[in-house]
């Protein structure tokens, strides 16, 4: 039986079990540069130092997917958090799951991120690889560099998940 993954708008509150939403909206801020710039300060918990890890900055260029999209696997990073920030103002789809009692992904849930919203997957959060929607999309990535095995993958077997639409 195929289960349909529900997709909600991305908000800090709804995403809190999975990490941070990186956006200016409703964030604390203060003026800098003689008032010509407003700084929305310290928006995510960067957690990259395990096993001598370092914080690194990269760009991910993602091909767009069309819906409906089957969700066949998820991944997580046991050694570090991971921020994806859209560089071109385009919305994208985020699929995450809380771990079940065996540490494997539970029921996946979906969030539609607006083009001015980034996400920070907390360390060890199960998530699907990037799902750009409209066009090839660049994201600034802030995650962990260093030695050690920082990738776990899980392929769903005996369960079929699908995202029908992003609304």
Write out the residues near a copy of itself by the rule CB under 8 A.
Answer: 22-24, 27, 29, 32-34, 36-44, 46, 48, 54-63, 65, 83, 85-89, 116, 118, 120, 129-130, 138, 140-142, 145
Closer of 100 and 135 to a copy of itself (Cβ): 135
Closer of 33 and 101 to a copy of itself (Cβ): 33
Q: Are residues 10 and 117 in contact, defined by beta-carbon separation less than 8 angstroms?
A: yes
Dihedral sign computed on CA atoms, order 119, 135, 73, 67: positive
Identify the helix (H) or strand (E) that includes residue 15. helix 12-15
To a copy of itself, the closest distance from the beta carbon of 8 in angstroms equals: 23
To a copy of itself, the closest distance from the beta carbon of 99 in angstroms equals: 21
Query: What are the tokens at 1?
Result: 């039986």
To a copy of itself, the closest distance from the beta carbon of 65 in angstroms equals: 8
DSSP of 60-126: EEE-B--SSEEE-EEEE-TT--EEEEESS---EEEEEE-B-TTSSB-S-EEEEE-TT-EEEEPTT-E
To a copy of itself, the closest distance from the beta carbon of 29 in angstroms equals: 8
Closer of 87 and 112 to a copy of itself (Cβ): 87
């Amino acid at each position: 039986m195929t289960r349909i993954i529900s997709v909600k708008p991305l908000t800090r509150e709804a995403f809190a079990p999975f990490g941070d939403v990186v956006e200016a909206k409703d964030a604390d801020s203060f003026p800098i540069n003689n008032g010509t710039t407003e700084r929305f300060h310290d928006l995510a918990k960067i957690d990259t130092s395990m096993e001598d890890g370092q914080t690194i900055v990269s760009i991910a260029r993602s091909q767009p997917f069309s819906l409906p999209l089957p969700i066949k696997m998820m991944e997580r990073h046991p050694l570090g958090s991971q921020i994806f920030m859209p560089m071109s103002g385009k919305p994208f789809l985020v699929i995450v799951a809380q771990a079940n009692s065996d540490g494997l992904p539970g029921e996946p849930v979906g969030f539609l991120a607006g083009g001015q919203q980034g996400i920070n997957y907390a360390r060890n959060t199960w998530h699907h690889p990037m799902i750009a929607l409209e066009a090839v999309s660049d994201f600034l990535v802030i995650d962990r560099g260093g030695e050690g095995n920082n990738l776990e993958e899980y392929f769903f077997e005996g369960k079929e998940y699908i995202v029908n639409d992003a609304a």
